[in-house]
Chain A
Amino acid sequence: MFRFVVRRLLVAGVTLVVISLVTFGLFFAVPSSPAKVMCGKNCTAADIAQVEQRLGIDQPLPRQYAGFVKGIFVGRTYGSGDFRQDCPAPCLGYSFRNNQPVTEIIAQRLPVTFSIVFGGAVLWLVLGISLGMVSALRRGTVFDRTAIGITLAGASMQVYFFGLILLYLLVYATGLLPFPSYTPLTENPGRWAVGLLLPWMTLGFLNSALYARLSRAQMLETLSEDFVRTARAKGLSARQVHTRHALRAAITPIVTIAGLDIGTSLGGTFITETIFGLQGLGKATVEAVQFLNLPVVMATVLLAAVFIVVANIVVDVLYAVIDPRVRLS
């Protein structure tokens, strides 16, 4: 197990390097320059060159990349003399827009996205899996058919559409909920939860539709397995057969998908954040791309990659915990 994790971490490191290289390359392949964007319309070529120099993007690409990597691990220094600016490790640079340290931006934005995804995931897992399992056990009944109908609608709905409907119904029309806002959990847990209820519901309901369908299919497949028949032949009650034997086997692939979904979402839930005006990572990424704000783009893209890679490793480890057949190889 230990060797397995070490090996996976090495592979993960290589993956991250490749992703950062590609992002770097792509950024400079774009014809427009961030210096132009910052400098504004009435800029002379000399002004632009000066800005470029200040941002450090006049340097050759490999050197920029080396500086970027060095900043992460040992920190780096920008400018010299009066403009000297020390940036201790892990240094992700400064925003081109407002000179804010990127690490600070991340520190502000990450908790927002984390909170959205956490609540949403709890909702979609609990709701989706239980709905799917119950549907499978009551296959063909009115409950099953209704659930399947609703999940089909849910699975084909878009976040922005559903989110706006919820917003209208629960905030504007009835005033049941306040307009979503982010309050740190440590500050006021109650307001944290109330403020995020709408995004949770949006993410939760839509994803739970997918998870319900997935769980139902998995459960039905497992129920037709030979080992479930064996369990019944032993004289176990239906409840024991379902929970102890069928559910455990059916849930394995769901764990995989859930892990990856959560990992991906942590990189940013842009649409949800935008609809509800929440300052999360997803929004930060998209804004940075619009303004060619390289340091922020690099940081958020890398962070998203880290989440996905880590989620992958967690899923693999979980898999080995659940399924003994995986442990040996």
Chain B
Amino acid sequence: MVKLPEPRSGESPYLRVKDLRVRFDTEDGVVRAVDGVSFSVERGRTLGIVGESGSGKSVTSLAILGLHNAKRAAISGEISVGGRQLVGMPEEEVRRLRGRDMAMIFQDPLSALHPYYTVGRQIAEAYRVHHPRAGKREARGRAVDMLGRVGIPQPGKRFDQYPHEFSGGMRQRAMIAMALVNDPDLLIADEPTTALDVTVQAQILDLLEDLQGEFRSAIILITHDLGVVSQVADDVLVMYGGRAVEHGSVEQVLRRPQHPYTWGLLSSVPSLHGDADADLVPIKGNPPSLINLPSGCAFHPRCRYADRNGDRSRTEVPELRPAGEAGHLVACHLPADERTRLYQQDIAQVGVAQ
């Protein structure tokens, strides 16, 4: 059984995901979008889930909120939110938690907001659905208040504007206001800054951090951008092919990475520092197809070190095991000392890995 990183404070984690599996039956075959992933997040902390397209990171977040179509997705494992088991819970009960105890911010705020309703009305609606006794005026007051708190100037006036009258950054702020209007304990942000310009991204990341200090929510930040993770996450989960390959504190995963895939990500990202003329070291090949996942370690066809333990990488799925330091887990067949040596030798000099 996988041992999770111990919570750092005495508090038990608000979100606990254990052996989560999400499967879709499609015409082309069974897609194992998430294949046995476990993690937990406490209030006031941020978990960054990193992965490329098809890694299962977004499917995981939608599974937590119960937003998958029950007819098409088969979900197993445990998702415990504030002590309540969500897998198998009746839809009506999950619905009551959605938006109140757990909320979500999406990648593209323009398409995530309804084009025909004013921004304020959409936020007020999110409040009223969980406060059925609140009147129109109370909901409006609350929405205006939230707009102001996410840094939107003249919130009273902005309340009555439509999404297309907002700039990209303001729209994402409005989305955040909507997600936080019921003071949720868990906030999932799925690529919240990918569609934004870099200077606006910095504003939004700062805002998320300030708001976390204020609301003390547990945050899951899903992104492909290691830079974003390094700025705001406390813990990092690296996913590949629907499985977790590395898990630990941000310090451990980005400074002392243990999995060859994490190495590959770090050495292939161009950086503002270091030798600009040096070649990047990309990961060879392409991300795998979830319908036809490589046997054994899903990363083995792209791994430079897959041949070092005979056939093991091709035949046996590596389990997530302690990587040395407390709380640092890695799913790799390479022995610990060899990993450390290879990292020092091959990787530490390139890209942002230094």
B166 on the interface (CB 8 Å rule)? no
Within 8 Å by CB of A226, from B71, B96, B100, B112, lies B112
Main secondary structure, interface of A, reads helix
> Which residue in chain A gives the minimum CB-CB distance to B92?
A237
Chain B residues lying within 8 Å of A240, measured Cβ to Cβ, are 129
User: Hey, what's the 0/1 contact readout for A290-325 against B, CB within 8 Å counting as 1?
Assistant: 000000000000000000000000000000001111
Is there an interface contact between B113 and A234, defined as CB atoms closer than 8 Å?
no
User: Hey, what's the 0/1 contact readout for B97-126 against A, CB within 8 Å counting as 1?
Assistant: 111100110101001111110000000011
Main secondary structure, interface of B, reads mixed
A249 on the interface (CB 8 Å rule)? yes
Q: Decide yes or no: A229 and B114 within 8 Å by CB, A234-B98, A234-B125, A234-B126 being known contacts.
A: no
Interface residues on B, range: 20 to 34
Chain B nearest CB: distance from A230 CB in Å?
Answer: 5
Chain A nearest CB: distance from B99 CB in Å?
Answer: 3
Chain A count of residues within 8 A CB distance of the other chain: 22
Chain A nearest CB: distance from B24 CB in Å?
Answer: 15
Bound CA–CA A181/B126 (angstroms):
54
> Which residue in chain A gives the minimum CB-CB distance to B127?
A234
CB contact list, B144-163 vs A, under 8 A: 162
Is there an interface contact between A227 and B112, defined as CB atoms closer than 8 Å?
yes
Within 8 Å by CB of A227, from B65, B95, B113, lies B113
Is there an interface contact between B115 and A323, defined as CB atoms closer than 8 Å?
yes
Bound CA–CA A323/B114 (angstroms):
10
Bound CA–CA A116/B164 (angstroms):
41
CB contact list, A217-274 vs B, under 8 A: 225-227, 229-237, 240, 244-245, 248-249
> Which residue in chain B gives the minimum CB-CB distance to A228?
B114
Is there an interface contact between B116 and A234, defined as CB atoms closer than 8 Å?
no
Is there an interface contact between B112 and A234, defined as CB atoms closer than 8 Å?
no
Is there an interface contact between A227 and B130, defined as CB atoms closer than 8 Å?
no
Chain A nearest CB: distance from B247 CB in Å?
Answer: 26
Is there an interface contact between B111 and A226, defined as CB atoms closer than 8 Å?
yes
Is there an interface contact between B126 and A229, defined as CB atoms closer than 8 Å?
no
Bound CA–CA A323/B164 (angstroms):
11
Within 8 Å by CB of B116, from A229, A236, A237, A248, lies A248
Is there an interface contact between B111 and A225, defined as CB atoms closer than 8 Å?
yes
Bound CA–CA A237/B13 (angstroms):
28
CB contact list, A102-131 vs B, under 8 A: none
Using CB atoms and an 8 Å cutoff, list the residues of chain B in contact with chain A: 65, 67, 71, 95-100, 103-104, 106, 108, 111-116, 125-126, 129-130, 162, 164, 175, 178
21 intermolecular pairs with C-beta atoms under 8 Å apart: A226-B112, A227-B113, A229-B112, A230-B175, A233-B65, A233-B103, A234-B99, A234-B103, A234-B126, A234-B178, A235-B95, A235-B100, A235-B126, A235-B129, A236-B129, A240-B129, A245-B114, A248-B114, A249-B114, A249-B115, A324-B115
9 A-B pairs with the lowest CB-CB distances in the bound complex, closest first: A235-B99, A235-B98, A226-B111, A234-B99, A234-B126, A227-B114, A226-B112, A324-B162, A233-B104
